[in-house]
Structure formats: structure tokens, C-alpha cells
Amino acid sequence: MSTSRTSTPQTAGAGARSTLTRARVLAEAVALADSEGLGALTMRSLARELGIEAMSLYHHVASKEDLLDGVAEVVVREILDAVGALEPAPEDTPPAEWKHALRRRILTARSVLLRHPWAPSVLETRTGFSPYVVRYHDALVALLHRGGLSYDLVHHAMHALGSRALGFSQELFDPGGPGGDPAAAPEPDDEDLLARLTDEAPHIVAMLAEVAHVEPDSTLGWCDDQAEFEFGLDLILDGLERLAARGSR
Amino acid sequence: MSTSRTSTPQTAGAGARSTLTRARVLAEAVALADSEGLGALTMRSLARELGIEAMSLYHHVASKEDLLDGVAEVVVREILDAVGALEPAPEDTPPAEWKHALRRRILTARSVLLRHPWAPSVLETRTGFSPYVVRYHDALVALLHRGGLSYDLVHHAMHALGSRALGFSQELFDPGGPGGDPAAAPEPDDEDLLARLTDEAPHIVAMLAEVAHVEPDSTLGWCDDQAEFEFGLDLILDGLERLAARGSR
DNA sequence: CTGTAAGCCTTACGCCGTAAGGTAGGCCCC
DNA sequence: GGGGCCTACCTTACGGCGTAAGGCTTACAG
């Protein structure tokens, strides 16, 4: 890797590999978060990974916050690419298919986020307007409006979807969920936990006893996140469809 | 040194004010987060507020993480108290009223969280099973099941509600939202922002132009969070009701 | 040849959470 | 009533964080 000839006279113009760019910094940051968790993404560790010193990063990002903004942008762009590869533009989608088109887009977004489990917690904390996030949402708005929903209803719809629009929803009780640190699997002695639950939350225990995919006497197996996500999403989409059908609102 | 009489012989028994307890530590932590934001809640600043040294806190909480667990618990207990003061127990609620009962409970929870804007971001990161969180959710499960929903449907319902069950939902683009630091109001020159939006997100701009409570040429006024929260909540509740009506699912 | 700017490095500061250990008073039990 | 122990506090110190300030080299422009 470039070892020899450190003083190559190349202008570092086009595809120079040895020169660091913001894009390369961000890519490495994403890779680091993927492999070591969000907590391991520090200026120092990122620099180490890139073979430079921490302070040198500041020539490519303004601050750690800016780094995280950039990282979020990379992820959203990845979503945009994935969606673009599968979906026609909103204008080329038959209006009547808005619901399925929306559904597919959102599930595609989700599939990208599943590759970056730490991403939701980063996206949650970015309140700014990344151009890519905006563009993504704009396509959803277009789809809904072309589907016949009034802008008023579209507006409500976007709020109702919330973070679901980007493919995630935070769930209370979700061990190892969107937290980011894969090493943090809180596993207190499940015996005690179940015993506590049984008298503190009898109805929950009764429910879990009945719902198929969990045997309450085993270690708490968790839910089928994908199925649950789709259930909630469909509940909202169906509700929107009904509201749309009975004339705007 | 508490000024006079440092060696008061009182046994620090019942309601002694001078002795620190975990409860007092947690109460002060909540107060500090309320007034200065979550970012200002550090072991050192909390100790300063209590007139002790940082390390002394470790006699009452095991770690910062434990402190945050405790803080979350305080908030949830506050929710439980508020709900308990207004609502009959699930067993005393007519089954047919499940939807309204659930709605009221959740909106009560929300009203508590509005007093602690930083609380959602703490609750989001607690993956453990606080007894109070569990108890709260258990009551919701009871209400739903007594209302005639199968446990299977109840289970889906809890997932669909997600954090909404506790009264919040994260929204992308929500300046000064559940972040926690009240001092961080990102206000980039709104002129530029709107200009950028206009060509990056024409549909969003069109929507905002039409939706009543925002004049797009003014500084971006934000949405009526409460109304939007209720819209999303009702969408889900109505959908659940419909599913319940046509027999389990 | 000189000026300037970019890209990287060194050093250092003030935060953070917390490990380790010290001390002073109150309690129990012999 | 005296020795030991427990509790609640303190002091000191460590390693890690983000980053301010400034220095050194190299590449290119005039």
C-alpha cells in the first residue's frame, strides 16, 4: 500500500488512493461503527484506523458532530441508492399503487439500516436537514400526494410514520436493539427476571405465554422485529388509505 | 460543612433532611436535567448541586448508567402517579371503553414527558426492565385484552405503539425536540434553508405551503406536535379497533 | 526564488467517568 | 466500655474524550 516511493510526483488528482478525503474519512467511520459499535467511533480511534493523527481529521470534518452528520448522510445516501435501484421515480409510479410503493420503499430503507444497527441512534439525533434525508422524504410526499391524499393528510401521514419512514422505530425493551454497541447484551439472570415479571406484569406474561414465538419458560426469546415492523407499518398505511378514501379529511 | 452544628446528634432517622439518599440524588438529577439539559447532568455537576463531592455519589448509585436508570424510573413513576390519579384500574374500566381508556392513559403519559423534554432520549436508551415501565405496559396489555383483543393482537399492538405507548415518538426534523439540550436550537439562516428546500424537495415545500399552520415564507414555524401525536395515535388505535372487530386477526 | 496554502503532526487544556484509598463518626457485641 | 465494623463522606489520580493553538513539510503559483 504505497509504501515505496513516498514522494511520488503524482498530482493526487483523480483517483489518488493515498490522499485522504472527507469521503474516505466518512467511509472509514461507517466501517468502524459497523465493526466495533458506535461507542468505539472516536476521533482518536478513527484516526488510528486511517493511519493518521486525531487532529488531522479536522482538515476533513469540522467537529465530531460534523463527522456524525456526515456518517448519517452516508447511510441515507445508501438508502437512496438502494431505493433508486429498485423503484421507479414517484412520477413513474401509477398513483393507485401509492401504498405498495411506499411500503416497498420503506422496507428497502429498513433493509439498509439492518446492515448498520447503530444508524438509528445517529439518525435520531440529527435534527438538521441533510439534503439526502430531505430528498428521501420528498419522494414519499410525492407518492402520497399523487396517490390522491390531500397535502393536509400527507402532512399528518408523515408525522404518523415518524422514524418508520426511514425504516426504523424505537422499541422500549429491545436488548441489543438500535443501541449501537453490539457488545452490550444485557442478560441478567433470566430466572429472576421472569419471576419478577410474573407478579409485576401478569398480563404481559400471560400474553407472552400465548403468543407463539416465545416460550416464557425458556430464556426470553425476542420478537420477530421484521414482522412487527411490517405490522405497525401496514396498520398505519391501511388507516391512511381509509382516510384518503373517505375524502381527504 | 453545613455551617452551624456540624455534629448534630440526630440519628438521621426518619425524615432527616441532611442525609443524602438515593431518592434525593435522583430527584436532584431530574431537577438538574430539567433546568440545564441532559448534557449538563454529570457526576461532578450533580455533586456540586448537592453540596458534596462527585465520588460521594457512588455511595448512592453504582455508576452513571445506574443514575440514568434511576432517573428514568423517577420519570416513569411520575407517569404512573399521574395516570393513577386520573384513571380507574384496568379491572374497573368497562371493557368496551378500552380505546378511550388507552388513549387517555397515553396522553397523560405524554403530558408528564412534556415537563421533562430530555426524558425520551433517556428512556430510549434504557433497555432494561424497570419495574415501573413494566407495570405501566402491563396495564395497557390488560386494557387491550379485556377490550376483546386476542393476546396475539395485543402483542402486535404493543409493537405498533412502540414508544408512543409512553407518550412520545421520535420525529426526524424536530429542532429542539426530544434532544434534551434546550440551548441547542439549530437555526441556520432560514432564507438559505428554504431556498435549498425549494429545489431539493419541491413536494414538501408544496405541502407546507398548503398546510394551514405554516407560512412557508416566514421562518419555518413548526408543527403542532400534540395534534400530530394524537393523529398518529388515533390512526393506530382505530386500526386496532377494526382488526379486533373482525375477529382476532 | 519566494509566498502561500494544504495536509499532517505535536503539545496541551479542560472536561468526563471512576478506581483506590483515606478518615471520622455511629453502631453492635463481647 | 472498648474494639471492630459500617456508612458516608473526602482526596488524589488515571486514562480517555473532543479540540484549541501552533509548527513542520511539501506542492504549486507568481
pLDDT (average), residues A24-29: 95
Given CB atoms, is B82 within the 8 Å cutoff of chain A?
A: no
- Residue A25 near residue A50, CB atoms below 8 Å: yes
A3 located within any domain: no
Q: Which pLDDT score is estimated for B178? A: 36
pLDDT (average), residues A31-52: 94
- Say which CATH number the domain at A129 has: 1.10.357
B115 located within any domain: yes
Give whole-number Cα distances, B159 to A122, A226, A228, in Å: 22, 11, 6
Q: Which pLDDT score is estimated for B1? A: 32
- Higher-confidence residue of B186 and A229: namely A229
- Exposed/middle/buried for B55, CB within 10 Å: 0-12, 13-18, 19+? exposed
B83 located within any domain: yes
Cα–Cα nearest to B145, from B76, B240, B236: B240
Q: Which of A4-13, A84-93, B1-10, B172-181 has the highest mean pLDDT?
A: A84-93
Cα–Cα nearest to B67, from B9, B24, B96: B24
Given CB atoms, is A165 within the 8 Å cutoff of chain B?
A: yes
pLDDT (average), residues B198-227: 61
Q: Give distance CA B196 / C1' D10 (Å).
A: 56
pLDDT (average), residues A196-212: 68
Q: Which pLDDT score is estimated for A230? A: 77
Q: Is the dihedral of CA B94, B95, B99, B102 positive or negative?
A: positive
Of A165, A177, A207, the CB nearest to B155: A207
Q: Do the chains contact at A238 and B240, CB–CB below 8 Å?
A: no
Q: Which residue has the cell 434511576?
A: B70
Residues found in chain B? 249
Q: Which of A102-106, A213-217, B41-45, B52-56 has the lowest mean pLDDT?
A: A213-217
Nearest nucleotide to B62 (CA to C1') is C18
Of B131, B156, B231, the CB nearest to A156: B231
Cα–Cα nearest to B158, from A211, A45, A102: A211
Given CB atoms, is A127 within the 8 Å cutoff of chain B?
A: yes
A231 in the same domain as A116: yes
- Whole-number Å distance between alpha carbons of A144 and B10: 69
A158 in the same domain as A117: yes
Per the structure block, which three cell numbers stand in for A243? 382516510
Cα–Cα nearest to A43, from A53, A31, A33, A30: A53
pLDDT (average), residues B79-92: 94
Q: Which pLDDT score is estimated for B183? A: 36
- Say which CATH number the domain at A38 has: 1.10.10.60
- Higher-confidence residue of A69 and B241: namely A69
- Alpha-carbon distance A156 to nearest alpha carbon in chain B (angstroms): 6
> Where a domain ends, among A29, A61, A93?
A61
- Residue A115 near residue A153, CB atoms below 8 Å: no
A32 in the same domain as A141: no
The alpha carbon of B76 is separated from its chain's Cα centroid by a whole number of angstroms, namely 8
A28 in the same domain as A137: no
Q: Do the chains contact at B129 and A193, CB–CB below 8 Å?
A: yes
3-state helix, strand, coil in chain B (%, to 5): 65, 0, 35
Nearest CA in chain A to B160: A232
User: Which domain does A125 fall in, by range?
Assistant: 72-168+222-245
Interface residues for strand C (CB within 7 Å) are A 19-20, 47, 51-56, 59-60; B 7, 9, 11, 42-45, 54-55, 58, 63-65
Q: Which pLDDT score is estimated for A1? A: 32
Radius of gyration of chain B (CA): 23
- Higher-confidence residue of B120 and A173: namely B120
- Residue A218 CB contacts under 8 Å (≥ 6 apart), including other chains: none
pLDDT (average), residues B145-162: 84
- Residue A88 near residue A219, CB atoms below 8 Å: no
**How many Cβ atoms from other residues are within 10 Å of residue B162's Cβ?**
23
How many C-alpha atoms does B190 have within 13 Å on its Cβ side? Answer: 12
Longest CA–CA span in chain B (Å) reads 74
B216 located within any domain: no
**How many Cβ atoms from other residues are within 10 Å of residue A84's Cβ?**
12
How many C-alpha atoms does A236 have within 13 Å on its Cβ side? Answer: 27
- Residue B223 near residue A159, CB atoms below 8 Å: yes
Cα–Cα nearest to A98, from A249, A226, A237: A237
Q: Which pLDDT score is estimated for B36? A: 94
- Residue B145 CB contacts under 8 Å (≥ 6 apart), including other chains: A203, A206, A207, B151, B154
Q: Is the CB of A65 under 7 A from strand D?
A: yes
Cα–Cα nearest to A156, from A169, A167, A145, A172: A145
B70 located within any domain: yes
Q: Is the CB of A64 under 7 A from strand D?
A: yes
- Whole-number Å distance between alpha carbons of B217 and A63: 32
- Alpha-carbon distance A99 to nearest alpha carbon in chain B (angstroms): 16
A40 in the same domain as A157: no
pLDDT (average), residues B136-150: 88
A164 in the same domain as A53: no
A240 in the same domain as A158: yes
Q: Which pLDDT score is estimated for A109? A: 92
Chain D bases having any atom below 7 Å from a protein CB? 7-12, 16-22, 26-28
Of A160, A201, A223, the CB nearest to B134: A201
Q: Which of A60-64, A145-149, A214-218, B181-185 has the lowest mean pLDDT?
A: B181-185
pLDDT tops 70 at residue B227: no
- Say which CATH number the domain at B143 has: 1.10.357.10
B177 located within any domain: no
Mean pLDDT of chain A: 77
A235 located within any domain: yes
Q: How many domains does chain B have?
A: 1
ipTM comes to: 0.77
3-state secondary structure of B232: helix
A48 located within any domain: yes
Residues found in chain A? 249
Mean pLDDT of chain B: 77
Position A18 confidence tier, pLDDT thresholds 50, 70, 90 = low
pLDDT tops 60 at residue A179: no
Chain A positions touching B195 (Cβ under 8 A) are none
Q: Which pLDDT score is estimated for B174? A: 46
Q: Which pLDDT score is estimated for B4? A: 33
A161 in the same domain as A241: yes
